[in-house]
């Protein structure tokens, strides 16, 4: 069902890898809701993924960009405005990567070169995106910038490793940049803290299947799917959320406010 929530709006979507990714589903939904946008990803991710297929489905152009490279981002923003014929209304930052996780290094035994790279890709890139947009005055008034995060920024999930630190930094950038972007340009900046989701990136975390099952049993509404996250993201891109900014918005079926559920308790209770 379409509500035309983004009719006439223009955007940039980072990080669509394949049809499991939240960015991919957000792009499809944004297209259905009347938006036009450019797709972007790092050249290596573009070779691995199926972004060309998504571009065809949504009538979008692809502009390769390394989100850690300011020159790439400047080129992306300039080209996006050329292609779309004006300033940007919405941006999705859906990028995250930890080499320490990939290489199986424990949180207490990080290789700091890996840590630096992961932090740059997962967190600092968000500041670089916001700063590039800000300095180029590329966002329309009441535009919306959203990044995806996870609750490990607030609470310990042992195998989430250094990504937890990256997400905490990412959320802080959204608050700080949201303040300045709001004051100067009436642009809003938020993060969505999503349920564990079986995306290509998410499944790199050890013990992920057990973890999804646990979160589902802990959440009164169950885990939020990637599609539901896309829907929520669209609402934040729309004019219905004009005064929502600097927030970390939990989209997790109630997990973040649940101490324990009956289903989880039952696993630990033994019958006499």
Give the annotated binding-site residues for NAD(+). 15, 21-22, 95, 167
| Adjacent-strand bridge partners of 38 | 12, 61
Q: Can 150 be counted among the known catalytic residues?
A: yes
Distance CA 116, CA 119 (A): 5
Catalytic residue among 3, 107, 134, 160: 160
Catalytic residue among 150, 181, 214, 232: 150
> Is 37 within 8 Å of 84 (Cβ atoms)?
yes
Residue 74's SS3 state is helix
CA neighbor of 61 nearest in space, from 71, 51, 70, 72: 51
CA distances from 261 to 145, 204, 225, 249, 258 (A): 34, 27, 20, 22, 7
CA distances from 262 to 142, 176, 185, 221, 265 (A): 43, 39, 47, 13, 5
Distance CA 26, CA 238 (A): 13
Residues placed in the known binding site:
15, 21-22, 95, 167
Region of residue 54 (left: phi > 0; alpha: psi -120 to 50; beta: else): alpha
Neighbours of 27 (CB within 10 A): 27
Q: Can 214 be counted among the known catalytic residues?
A: no
State the number of CA atoms in the 13 A half-sphere of 242 facing the CB.
8
- The set of catalytic residues is 150, 160
């Amino acid at each position: 069902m379409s509500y035309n929530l983004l009719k006439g709006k223009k955007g940039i979507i980072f990080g669509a890898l394949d049809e499991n990714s939240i960015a991919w589903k957000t792009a499809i939904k944004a297209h259905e809701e009347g938006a036009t946008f450019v797709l972007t990803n790092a050249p290596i991710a573009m070779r691995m993924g199926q972004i060309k297929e998504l571009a065809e489905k949504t009538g979008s152009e692809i502009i390769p960009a390394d989100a850690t490279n300011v020159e790439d981002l400047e080129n992306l923003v300039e080209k996006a405005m050329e292609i779309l014929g004006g300033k940007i209304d919405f941006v999705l930052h859906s990028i995250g990567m930890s080499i320490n996780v990939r290489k199986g290094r424990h949180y207490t035994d990080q290789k700091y070169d890996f840590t630096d790279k992961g932090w740059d890709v997962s967190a600092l890139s968000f500041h670089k995106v916001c700063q590039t947009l800000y300095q180029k005055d590329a966002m329309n008034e009441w535009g919306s910038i959203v990044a995806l995060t996870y609750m490990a920024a607030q609470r310990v999930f042992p195998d989430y490793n250094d990504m937890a630190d990256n997400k905490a930094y990412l959320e802080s950038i959204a608050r700080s940049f949201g303040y300045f972007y709001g004051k100067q340009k009436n642009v809003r900046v938020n993060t969505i803290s999503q349920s564990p989701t079986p995306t290509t990136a998410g499944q790199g975390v050890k013990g992920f299947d057990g973890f999804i099952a646990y979160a589902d049993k802990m959440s009164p509404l169950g885990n939020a799917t990637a599609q539901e996250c896309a829907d929520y993201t669209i609402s934040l891109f729309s004019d219905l959320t004009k005064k929502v900014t600097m927030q970390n918005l939990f989209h997790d079926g109630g997990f973040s406010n649940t101490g324990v559920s009956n289903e989880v308790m039952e696993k630990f209770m033994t019958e006499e």
